[in-house]
Amino acid sequence: MTSPISPEAVCPTCATAGTGRFCANCGSSLEGATCTGCEAPLTPGARFCHRCGTAAGAQPSVADRLPTPSGGVAGSLPWIVAAIALVVLLAFLGGNRFNAARGSTLDAPQNALPQAGLDDRATQPPPGAANPRGPDISQLSPQERAERLFNRVMSLSGEGKNDSVQFFAPMAIEAYRLLTPLDADQRYDMGRIAEVAGALPLAAAQADTILQRSPSHLLGLILGARIATLTNNATARKSYEARLLAVHEAESARRLPEYIRHEDDITNAIATARAAGATR
């Protein structure tokens, strides 16, 4: 008994006509073939899909592989694009109205952020009132800027505001470093800032440098004595104070600008040295 001959079928992969269970050209199954367009089952021997008309073995198009408009991305894409465009348009219109309401003052100098510790624009007094904080920092020379920061740090230290001292001290020290080469007055200022900020090695270095250039300079001796006191170096403190008492009259007679500027420090240091000498 002979087996029935299978009807001729078209390979869904390579579209080659053939019989049997597999394609003689590419080896794909000829049984249970489905349409590449709509995935409907194809009858054996069919050359076209009875549902959508796609040729057997045809490759699906890109559009066929996209989700359907009823719920897929392809159908939603136009709406997504439209929504994004609407949001951008509303933001643009809103920004224009906001800027128009504020006018052109956004670019005015008074709207710039003040420099921490330097700029007075953030606290300008009302028109006609006196300015208790001095001129704008942009009008100051580098020396005036450094001296202003020195005064601020010393004032904050005297008020016990250590957090503020730590905030302003680095700016003040940097302002003095920009003045190089530093003279004795500037080194004393930087040393005092470093002292109250706790940077004792930096302060000691300023005292040493002053005294290397002028061994009897009052500010160098005063700064050295202060650092020796803070580091509990009694021997060094006695030495500095003894030298200070020995030279202060001759040095004071020179009336150096830094002696006049720091007259209170000199007076207090001499009084302290005399009191310490009387108790020793």
Query: Is 17 in a helix, a strand, or coil?
Result: strand
Domain count, the chain: 2
Final residue before a domain boundary, out of 11, 26, 61 = 61
Run of H or E residues at 149: helix 142-158
Which of 30, 46, 61 is a domain's end point?
A: 61
Tens-place pLDDT, residues 59-109 = 554 444 434 444 444 445 555 656 676 666 666 555 555 444 444 333 344
231 is a domain residue: yes
Domain that holds residue 237: 140-279
User: pLDDT-derived band of residue 157, with 50, 70 and 90 as boundaries?
Assistant: very high
Closest listed residue to residue 214, CA positions, set 259, 277, 177, 176: 259
Contact 56, 33 (CB under 8 A): yes
Q: Output the average pLDDT for the chain.
A: 76
Among 7, 79, 87, residue whose Cα is nearest residue 47: 7
Mean pLDDT of 37-60: 69
pLDDT digits (tens, 9 = 90+) for 241-268: 999 999 999 999 999 999 999 999 999 9
pLDDT at res. 127: 52
Domain boundary among 61, 86, 101: 61
- Whole-prediction pTM value? 0.53
80 part of a folded domain: no
Residue 164 makes CB contacts below 8 A (sequence gap 6+) with 156
Q: What angle do CA 97, 98, 102 make, to 5 degrees?
A: 115
136 has a pLDDT exceeding 90: no
pLDDT of amino acid 167: 95
User: In terms of domains, do 154 and 245 share one?
Assistant: yes
Q: Are residues 56 and 149 in the same domain?
A: no
The pLDDT assigned to 232 comes to 96
In a domain, 114, yes or no: no
DSSP code, position 31: S
What is the predicted pLDDT for the residue at 90? Answer: 61
* Same-domain status, 46 and 175: no
